Chains A and B, each alone.
Chain A
C-alpha cells in the first residue's frame, strides 16, 4: 500500500442553528486518508457520522451556523473554493458518495442507465448515447446484466438498485467514495455480495473509501482504519488491526463488547445510558456520564486527542499527560 495522502481533514467543524440552540454536530474532526485506505467511521445514531459525509461533499442544509476547518484534497484546501468551482471540480469528480438509502432515491420515471450516466452528461458534457454506453459497461462490472440499463427503478431488486447507485458514484472516476451505510436496508446475503463487490472495485480502481456504518462487524469487512465518533467528536482513530484487538477509549471498548458474535462464546454487554443531546452536552469529556473509568478531571476538562501509538489517537484522560 502506498503512503500517498489523498485527503487530509483539519479541525473540521459543523454547527447547526436550531430553535433550541446551536447543535455542535461535528467538532474538531481531524484525519488523513491515504490512497486505497478504507476509513470506517463508526458510532451510534445521532453522533455525527452522516453529517461528516455531508460536510465532506458540502451537501448541507440551510441552517448552518458554522462550517469551518480545512479539507485538503491532493494538497489543495477545498474549503476555499466557491460553490460553483466545488461543484465542477470536486463533488463527484474527486469525491463521490453513495447516500444512505440511495437505492430508493432513483427517479421512478427515468431508466436506470440514464440515471447512472447523468453525472457524466452533466459534469463532463459527454454525449448522452456515449454516457449511457459507459454506464452500461460499468453496471456490468458491478455484476448487473447490462440490459438492466433499459429498466426502470421499480423493475429492479434492492440489491440491484444498490449496485446501480454504486455505479453512479464511480462513473466520473473519483478518487474517494463515501459510503454512507451502503448496505443497511439489504438482506444478509445481498449485503455480503455488495461488500465483495466493494472490495473488488476498490482494488480495481485504486479507490479510497470513507465507510460510514454503525455495524462494527461490517466495518471490519472493509476498513484498514477506524474512526469512532461520539457526540460530534472523534474519540478514537486507529488502524483496524489495533482497534479490533486493543481498543483504547472506554466507549470504543463498550461498542465492541456490545456486538453479538457468531464465532466466539463471549456474551454481549451493553453500555448503559444514552448519547447526550448535542445542544446541551455534558461538560468535559462528553462520554463521562456513561464511563466506568471517569474521575473528577473527566467532567471538568475536555481531553485532547492523545497519541498512544503509531497512527493511534484517543480522546481520553486515561491516556493523557500526567497519568
Chain B
C-alpha cells in the first residue's frame, strides 16, 4: 500500500505543477493590485490598491459577500470573501504565521484564548455606545483578559425543541420531560425518550445544561469572574453528584441518555417524529422545519429543586487579524460596519442565527419567533470559556459522561477525568 501513498505524492506533485503552470499562463502575478481571479472572490470595481480579505465558513460566505462588496465600493477597495471549509481555526493560525492569512476572520468567540496566545488577533476598540448595543452576555464572551477581541454578530445556544403534536406542554423539569418521553415511548408513539447526542465519546456541549442543573461545574472562578484554569472542578463532590444524575438518566436508568444517539442522527431522529424532545441549537431548525410538524422552543428545563440548566453560549464574531496587510480597513469593517443594524439583519436573513445586536434581534423577532425564543433560552447561559485550557476539558469530560451514561461509576469516572485534565494542564 506504500504504492498508493507514492501515487498520492506524485499526484500532489502533478497538481502543484499544474497550479504553477496555470499561474504562469495567467500572466505574471506580481502586481499586488491585480484583481483576484478566484470564483469565490467578490470583487468590487473601484480598486485603488487597497484590498480587504475576509475568511469565513461556507455558511457565512454568501451572506457576507454583498456587504463586503458594498464596503469595498464605499471605500474604494477590493473586498474578497474566501471560504474556508474545515479546521478554520488551525488554517487561520498557520496562514497568519506564514503571512498569507486574511485581514478579517469570522469564527466562534471561544477561539479567542488560543488566537491571543498565538498573537494572531488584535483587540477591537468598540465605543461605549457600540458596546451597549449588545446584550451583556455577548460582550462578556468576546472579552478576554479585560480586553475586547472581537465584534459579536450572532449568539447561539441550545434549547429544548419539542414536537407540540406529541408533547403539547413544555416540561417544567427534567423529571417531567423524562416522564412524558417515557409515556410516549410506552404508548409506541416515539422510539426515543430524548434526542440529545451522547455518542461513544460523550458530548460535553449538549449535556452541559443538564450537568449544570445537577450542580456540576468545570472551572472555579478568578477574582474577575473569569473561569480559572488552575481550579478544575470536574472531579469535585458537586460534579460527582451531577454525574450521578446523568447516570440516573442513562442507559441503565431512565434511558433518556444513550450512547447510540450521536451528532449524526439526533436531529434526523427528531425530524422523523421518532422522539418528542430535541436538545439542539438554531442550526437544527432547517431540518426540524422540514419535518412538517408544529414545534416550540423553550429553555432546557432543570432538575426539580436543582440549579438552573445553563447552556453554553457561543458568540459568532469578527476578528481583526494581527498579521493582516490592511489593518486600518479591517478595524473599520469590524468596529464600525459589522456593528451596524442592517448588516446584522442581513446576516441573519442569509443564515438564521439570532443576531447579537439587540436592535436587530428585536426586529428579527417580530418576523421569526424562534430567534427570540433561542435568545430567551440562553439569557442566563454560560459563555463558553475562551481560555485555551478549555481544550483539555472536552475529551476527558465527554468520556466520563459516556461512561456514566453506560452505567459506570460516577465517582471513579469523574476522578479519572479530573486526573487526566490536571495532568495535561500540569496543575
Do these two chains really belong together in a complex?
Answer: no
Binding site for A on B (CB under 8 A): none
